[in-house]
């Protein structure tokens, strides 16, 4: 995939970066780390500039995030609550718990959006619950742009600085992604443990 990504970027320049970053948001397995660091490297031997790469990458990321936001928006939390009310007993899940999760996202959602834009995989998927909870679109857009901009500036700058050695950063990013997935996995397991324990105590 890396070879295809770099070839696509070399052929289509800024438009290629925009399209790949938009696709990366909708299809998370496409690694933004490769797109951004290679984009930074391209500024050392093409007419592309660091600000130009950052802008096109950020526009692509935000475009993809907006698509997922509206997908989440039209999923409709009320419909999900109705499904949980009807079938939630199979997973020992209650409508009230969906409401609590919704309330939590309403309270902390904006900062969650900002921080998660710098976390692999989650940075894309977080747009869906933002839409589902009907988060204010313009604030969602603001925090998405801010978080995305930090991520993009960092990786494009590193790619430009490393030049032909741009792939060296990918090893570090792989470690970062692996640690992130492990932490998320542990968090899910711990959360599930306490959830089931709480259920067993009540029953």
Q: What was the pLDDT predicted at 177?
A: 58
Tell me what pLDDT residue 150 has: 93
Q: Residues 131-181: pLDDT tens digits? A: 888 888 999 999 999 999 999 998 999 888 887 776 666 666 666 556 655
**Phi and psi dihedrals of 85, rounded to 5?**
-65, -35
Q: How far, in Å, are 4, 42, 108, 113 from residue 193 at the CA level?
A: 42, 47, 23, 26
- pLDDT value at position 91? 46
Please count the CA atoms within 13 angstroms of the CA of 43 that sit on its side-chain side: 22
In eight-state DSSP terms, residue 177 is: H
The CA-based angle 50-110-124, given to 5 degrees, is 55
Token pair 């950063």 is found at 169
Between residues 14 and 3, which one has the greater pLDDT? 14
Asked if residue 66 has pLDDT above 90, the reply is yes
Phi/psi at 134 (5° precision): 60, 40
Residue 103: its pLDDT value, please? 65
**What six digits make up the tokens of 160?**
């430009």
Q: Over the stretch 35-44, which tens digit does the pLDDT of each residue have?
A: 888 888 899 8
Q: CA 202 from chain center: how many Å? A: 36
183-196 tens-digit pLDDT: 555 655 655 555 55
């Amino acid at each position: 995939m890396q070879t295809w990504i770099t070839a696509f970027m070399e052929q289509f320049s800024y438009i290629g970066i925009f399209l790949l970053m938009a696709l990366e948001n909708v299809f998370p397995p496409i690694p933004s780390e490769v797109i951004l660091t290679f984009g930074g490297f391209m500024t050392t031997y093409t007419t592309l500039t660091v600000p130009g790469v950052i802008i096109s990458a950020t526009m692509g990321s935000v475009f993809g995030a907006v698509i997922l936001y509206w997908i989440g928006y039209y999923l409709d939390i009320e419909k999900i609550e109705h499904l949980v009310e009807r079938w939630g007993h199979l997973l020992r899940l209650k409508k009230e718990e969906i409401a609590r999760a919704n309330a939590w996202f309403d309270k902390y959602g904006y900062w969650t959006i900002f921080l998660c834009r710098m976390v692999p995989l989650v940075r894309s998927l977080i747009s869906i619950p933002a839409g589902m909870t009907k988060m204010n679109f313009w604030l969602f857009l603001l925090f998405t742009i801010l978080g995305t901009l930090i991520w993009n500036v960092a990786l494009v700058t590193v790619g430009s600085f490393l030049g032909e050695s741009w792939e060296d950063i990918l090893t570090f990013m792989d470690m970062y992604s692996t640690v992130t997935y492990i932490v998320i996995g542990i968090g899910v397991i711990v959360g599930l443990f306490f959830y089931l324990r709480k259920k067993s105590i009540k029953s």
